[in-house]
A and B are shown apart, each in its own frame.
Chain A
Amino acid sequence: AQKVTQAQTEISVVEKEDVTLDCVYETRDTTYYLFWYKQPPSGELVFLIRRNSFDEQNEISGRYSWNFQKSTSSFNFTITASQVVDSAVYFCARMDSNYQLIWGAGTKLIIKP
C-alpha cells in the first residue's frame, strides 16, 4: 500500500520552543497532493495546507512552515515559537488517484506552559 508515515507518535515541548513534525509518504504517481490537518482537543479537523507535487518551494504562514522534499518523499511541518494553543494532533495526508485522502497515523503535539 502507498502509505503515509508519521513516525512521531507524540512530541512534548515547552512553550516557545520550535518543533518539527515529520511526514514521509509513498506513491507511484507523478502528480499528487499532500496535506496537513490539525485536530485540536475539541475534535474538529482543520485544514492547514495543500501542496502540489510540482511545487517544491517551502511555504511559510506566520509561525507555521512546511518543507517539501520530493527526493526524500517528505513533507515536514515546523512550528516556530510554539504556543499552548498549538497543542493538537496533526495529520499528514496524501490524495490518491481516486481523489481520496490517505492519512498518516497522526502526531500528538503537547505544548507545556
Chain B
Amino acid sequence: DTAVSQTPKYLVTQMGNDKSIKCEQNLGHDTMYWYKQDSKKFLKIMFSYNNKELIINETVPNRFSPKSPDKAHLNLHINSLELGDSAVYFCASSQDRGVQYFGPGTRLTVT
C-alpha cells in the first residue's frame, strides 16, 4: 500500500508544452505539499495546501499552479515549460502540519 504516490515517475517533454503531475495520498492527511529538487539536490518548497489555505512560495513562477480536487489529491500543473523547470518534483503530505511523508518523486526533463 503506497502512502503517497505520484504519476508519472518520469516525464520528458519539450519547451513550451503544458504538463501535469498527479499526487495522491491514502494516509488521511489534511495538508499536502509540492517540492522541487534541483540537479544539486537542493530542496525547495513550492506550495503547501490544506482545505483552508494555500501557501505559495513567492519565488515560484505563476506558470506553476496546484490544483486539489479533494483532500487526498494535489496535482501540479505547469504551463509553458522551460529548460530550467527540469528537476525532480516531490509531493508530500502531513497531518496537522506534522511529519511530512514524501512520494517517490517525478523526474521532469524539458528538452
Contact = CB atoms under 8 A, between A and B. Distances in A.
A105 B48 contact: no
Name A's interface SS: strand
B48 A44 contact: no
A37 B43 CA distance: 12
B104 A44 contact: yes
A91 B43 contact: yes
Interface in A3-46: 35, 37, 39, 43-46
Contacts of A102: 45
B8 to A, nearest CB: 14
Interface string B1-39: 000000000000000000000000000000101000000
Contacts of A45: 90, 92, 102, 105
A47 B48 contact: no
A93 B33 CA distance: 15
Contact of A105 (B42, B45, B90): B42
Interface residues of B, number: 23
A69 B55 CA distance: 31
A100 interface: yes
Interface residues of A, number: 22
Contact of A99 (B43, B97, B103): B97
A47 B41 contact: no
14 contacts: A39-B41, A43-B88, A43-B105, A45-B105, A47-B99, A89-B41, A95-B97, A100-B45, A100-B57, A101-B43, A101-B45, A102-B45, A105-B40, A106-B42
Interface of B: 31, 33, 40-45, 48, 55, 57, 88, 90, 92, 97-105
